[in-house]
Amino acid sequence: MNAPLRLPPQRRAPAPRRPPRLSPQRRAVMVRQLATLAAVMPISDAVATLARQEGDRAEKAVLAATHRALQAGSPLARALPAEAFPAHVRGTVAAGEQSGRLALLLARLADTLEAEVSLRSRLLAALAYPALLLVVAGGVIAAMLVFVVPGIAEQLTGSGQPLPLITRAVLAASAFLGAWGLPILLLMLLAAGLLWLLLQAPARRARFDAALLRVPGLGPWLAAVEAVRWSRLLGTMAGAGLPLAEALELTAPTLGNAAWREGTQAIALRVRSGASLSSGLGLLPCAPPLLLSLARSGEASGRLAPLLEGAAVTLDQQLADRSRAVLALAEPLIIVVMGGIVGLIIVAVLLPILQLNQLAAGAPLP
């Protein structure tokens, strides 16, 4: 008998790789390019054109995955990879396809994404320089106390003369920082890590974010940031024709403050059950009065989308003006305070040396 043939084991085809994520900047650029091309050609040709261009590997992978899905018959909203395009982007695209205004709504969506990127860039720029200034100045002061002052301390204390109060204070601070600086730093890092773990629970994060909104000075600024994002995204999706409850549900995950996310989700539940948007606006903690007024007026007049977009523009400008004013005051204040501390350390070191020189010269002490 002939031995049965043994077929070699079949190799499984490798699973298709998941499309990579896109940064907000790249996502905004890609949507803008799609909006421009969709105005003059079918969307499948627009995606294919962009996929053939030279560009970033991640962008080409996303465009290739989108093009394959379009070729398979999926609409653009389903063809866009969820890893690269959040739900509110895909929801707006779906509304554009259903209404036959895809190119127009892609252009409006690109405006919204670009404005969001611009807001984030301005906020980072406003915070980066003061933070860097604090880190550098704090590092210089710590280095002086840990490395410079201890080298001079023996000479100052070895003279046997009573030291000025300011010198004793600086020497005590230097000794404390040298002995406990590293443990305190480790303890602060441990506390930060513990706080991060605790804030992973949604209920704790919501209470923490709500408490931040009540901090004088900081709270209104954080609320304005969330209000700009909330009104801009909700206005875009409402203008695209999405039902208000669905637009609210898609807006909620994009918000950075957990208290605003919970408030928006609660408003969506109310609207879905038949209540008006105006009746639930009080659930947004510390919302700017301008946003509340324009949202109520827009709902009453049937012009919710344009008035929300107008609120976003106005609040964004106010936020930019406030950030510039705070930055203009913070920079010189940090420089003056840190320079004063450095000068205080220098005076504390030089004062006993000058006194010793006066004693050696036989001059009377001041």
Output the CA–CA distances (angstroms, integers) from residue 288 to 262, 298, 333, 351, 357, in the order listed: 17, 16, 28, 53, 63
Compute how many other C-beta atoms are within 10 angstroms of the C-beta atom of residue 108: 21
The separation between the first and the last C-alpha atoms of the chain, rounded to the nearest angstrom, is: 120
Q: Other C-beta atoms within 10 Å of 226: how many? A: 27
Per-domain boundaries in the chain: 24-113, 125-366
Q: Which residues of the chain have pLDDT under 50?
A: 1-15, 363, 365-366
Please determine whether the domains at 24-113 and 125-366 fall in the same fold group of CATH.
yes
**For residues 50 and 63, is the Cβ–Cβ distance under 8 A?**
yes
- pTM of the entire structure? 0.76
Q: Does domain 24-113 match CATH 2.40.30.30?
A: no
Question: Residues near 246 by Cβ (< 8 Å), separated by ≥ 6?
Answer: 91, 237, 268
Considering the domain 125-366 in this protein, what is its CATH number? 1.20.81.30
User: Given CA atoms 188, 194, 199, 204 in this order, what sign does their dihedral have?
Assistant: negative
Rounded to 5°, angle at Cα 133 from 131 and 137:
120
Which two structure tokens, joined as six digits, stand for 213? 């909104």
Contact 43, 104 (CB under 8 A): no
Residue 7 confidence (pLDDT)? 37
Read off the pLDDT of residues 263-311 as tens digits, 9 standing for 90 and up.
Answer: 999 999 999 999 999 999 999 999 999 999 999 999 999 899 999 999 9
The span from the CA of 92 to the CA of 77, in Å, is: 8
Which CA distances in Å does 280 have to 154, 261, 292? 68, 13, 10
What per-residue confidence (pLDDT) applies to 9?
47
Three-state secondary structure along 58-82? HHHHHHHHHHHHHHCCCCHHHHCCC
| 351 contacts 154 by C-beta, under 8 angstroms | no
Contact in structure between 93 and 102 (CB atoms under 8 Å): yes
Whole-number Cα distances in Å, 27 to 21, 114, 344: 9, 9, 50
Concatenated DSSP letters of 260-315 = HHHHHHHHHHHHHTT--HHHHGGGSTT--HHHHHHHHHHHHHT-HHHHHHHHHHHH
Helix (H) / strand (E) element for 334: namely helix 304-361
Q: Quick: pLDDT tens for 152-201.
A: 777 777 666 778 888 888 888 888 888 888 899 899 999 999 999 998 88
145: tokens are: 């106390």
pLDDT value for 23? 87
> Which run of H or of E encompasses 47?
helix 43-52
The reported pLDDT for the residue numbered 188 is 93
CB 225 within 8 A of CB 119: yes
